[in-house]
Amino acid sequence: MFEQFGGVMEMLKKVQQNMDTVQEQLKQEKIEVSSGDVVKIIVNGQQELVAIQLNSKYLTAENAALLQDLLIATINNALTKSRDLSQTAMGKLAADLNLPKIPGIF
């Protein structure tokens, strides 16, 4: 009985190490999304905002509402791509470890 427990613990340790590696890789991934030459958003694979770049020629009072809308749309697009990247990486990890598919986990 204790041999089985040791095997499970070893497997859990391996899964945790692999997850840590994937999470670190996702943190290093950079996803860039732009709205033309107006706004560029950079996020990492952990849905963290890394940078916002605005083209100074559009920074006028008349363009404020447009810039706000473009920022929201571009940030949301970047975060969606980041989540997709993360889900793909975790799905691959689960497949590599022959883990069962559990909705919302991998």
Scanning the structure block, which residue is given the tokens 């670190």? Answer: 24
Q: Any idea where the domains of the chain sit in the sequence?
A: 2-96
Q: Which residues of 49-80 are buried (b: 16+ CB within 10 A; e: fewer)?
A: eeeeeeeeebeeeeeeeebeebbeebbebbbe
pLDDT one-digit tens code per residue, 81-100: 999 999 999 888 878 777 66
* pTM score of the predicted model: 0.74
Cα gap 17→38, rounded to integer Å: 41
pLDDT one-digit tens code per residue, 10-67: 878 888 888 899 999 999 999 999 999 999 999 999 999 999 999 999 999 999 999 9
Enter the CATH code of domain 2-96: 3.30.1310.10
pLDDT value of position 54: 96
